[in-house]
Amino acid sequence: MRSRPLLLITLAVLFAAVGVFAWLWHSGGEEAARMAKAEPRQCLDPASDHTGPHPGMVYVPGGTFEMGDTVYPEEGPLHQVSVKGFWIDRHEVTNDEFAAFVKATGYVTVAERPVDTVAYPGLPADMQKPGAVVFVMPNNVDGSGNIAQWWQYIPGANWRHPGGPETSIEGHGSFPVVAVAYEDIEAYAKWKGTSVPDEAQWEWAARGGKKSKPDHEQPKEANTWQGIFPVLNSDEDGFVGLAPVGCYKPNAYGLYDMIGNVWEWTTGIYEGDPTRRVIKGGSYLCAPNYCKRYRAGARQGQEVDLATSHLGFRTVLDAPAP
Ligand SMILES: [Ca+2]
Ligand SMILES: [Ca+2]
């Protein structure tokens, strides 16, 4: 809970640049509901994903590449990195997979545990209760850029109830697990016999073998946000919110949703601060008007103990090539 008081600062950095477009579209949330819906997509069945020496994982051959990108300052400078071959989960860890871990171990996630109000005095009343930060699409925004208009700390929100205590993951077994803190995902990986990817592994895998200059366009084959964040989501990619894993074309390695859907944890320490780790890939909330982080080279710092509704993970394995 150490950095929980820094919540607003963190989120302000994370979402500071919502511009005048959002204000102009102040009633857009209602309009979004009237927009034409995309055709339903065929999604991967994670239960069918159990072949090969490491079921559910694919092998990514090693290589050398220019890591980073040039859109936001934190992505640079570009620097050459070599990565050894490794295995990585084909898709984001799902609710069903995380539930199997919890069932086997009795693990209780950070967002479900009591908040240490002695160590961190002065927290607002709601934040003294276990919970998570949840994106709630507003119908109106006032143009101030105040992220509290769309991010809410909701007591009782956690991986079982990702939108708050009245919500559930029932019927969402193939959706990515969210509201998991860093120690939660480390515990999962340890149980699974895998590990959390480092940033270079993750970025190399997300590039799908491309060594050329990174593309900065919003990808079509990824669950991101089309329209004006946070009030107008035109749903062109088929999902206003989270999607089940594997609904978009995989990259050249056969990896799904490296870009978009949920952000993914890596081991990378962010800007030398051990209370923050690097997250990668952007999420369903990334839109051209404020967060062009739907790219392999994009990165973001995240408080290790902060559970949020747009952040999940996948794991890697150091094992011989097939
Ligand atoms: Ca979407
Ligand atoms: Ca992802």
Domains, the chain, in order of start with CATH, read 18-317 (3.90.1580.10)
Closest ligand to 284 CA? 1
Given the DSSP bridges, would you call strands 311-312 and 263-270 parallel, antiparallel or unpaired?
A: parallel
**Residue-level pLDDT at 320:** 97
Per the prediction, the chain carries an average pLDDT of 89
Q: Cα of 193 to ligand 2 centre, how many Å?
A: 21
Rounded distance between C-alpha atoms, residue 314 and residue 119, angstroms: 31
Per-residue pLDDT tens over the stretch 286-310: 999 989 999 999 999 999 999 999 9
pLDDT of residue 38 exceeding 90, the answer is no
- Mean pLDDT over 2-24 rounds to 45
- Mean pLDDT over 48-61 rounds to 91
Q: Cα of 83 to ligand 1 centre, how many Å?
A: 31
The model's confidence at residue 40, banded by pLDDT at 50, 70 and 90, is confident
Q: Cα of 257 to ligand 2 centre, how many Å?
A: 5
**Residue-level pLDDT at 39:** 67
**Residue-level pLDDT at 119:** 86
**Bridge partners, 280 (sequence order):** 264
Closest ligand to 282 CA? 2
Q: Cα of 256 to ligand 1 centre, how many Å?
A: 15
Q: Cα of 207 to ligand 2 centre, how many Å?
A: 13
- Mean pLDDT over 7-30 rounds to 43
Q: Cα of 295 to ligand 1 centre, how many Å?
A: 15
**Bridge partners, 278 (sequence order):** 301
The model's confidence at residue 144, banded by pLDDT at 50, 70 and 90, is confident
pLDDT of residue 260 exceeding 80, the answer is yes
Rounded distance between C-alpha atoms, residue 310 and residue 180, angstroms: 10
pLDDT of residue 188 exceeding 60, the answer is yes
Percentage of the chain beyond pLDDT 70 is 88
Q: What is the pTM of this model?
A: 0.89
Q: Cα of 36 to ligand 1 centre, how many Å?
A: 13
The model's confidence at residue 4, banded by pLDDT at 50, 70 and 90, is low
- Mean pLDDT over 2-18 rounds to 46
Q: Cα of 169 to ligand 1 centre, how many Å?
A: 19
* b (16+ CB within 10 A) / e for 54-91: bebbbbbeeeebbbbbeebebbeeeeebebebbbbbbb
The model's confidence at residue 11, banded by pLDDT at 50, 70 and 90, is very low
Question: How many CB atoms sit inside 10 A of residue 270's CB?
Answer: 20
DSSP label of 195: B
Q: Cα of 238 to ligand 2 centre, how many Å?
A: 16
pLDDT of residue 140 exceeding 90, the answer is no
Q: Cα of 166 to ligand 2 centre, how many Å?
A: 25
Q: Cα of 92 to ligand 2 centre, how many Å?
A: 6
Per-residue pLDDT tens over the stretch 89-131: 999 999 999 999 999 999 999 999 999 999 889 999 999 999 9
Closest ligand to 260 CA? 2
Q: Cα of 121 to ligand 2 centre, how many Å?
A: 35
**Residue-level pLDDT at 47:** 85
Per-residue pLDDT tens over the stretch 265-283: 999 999 999 999 999 999 9
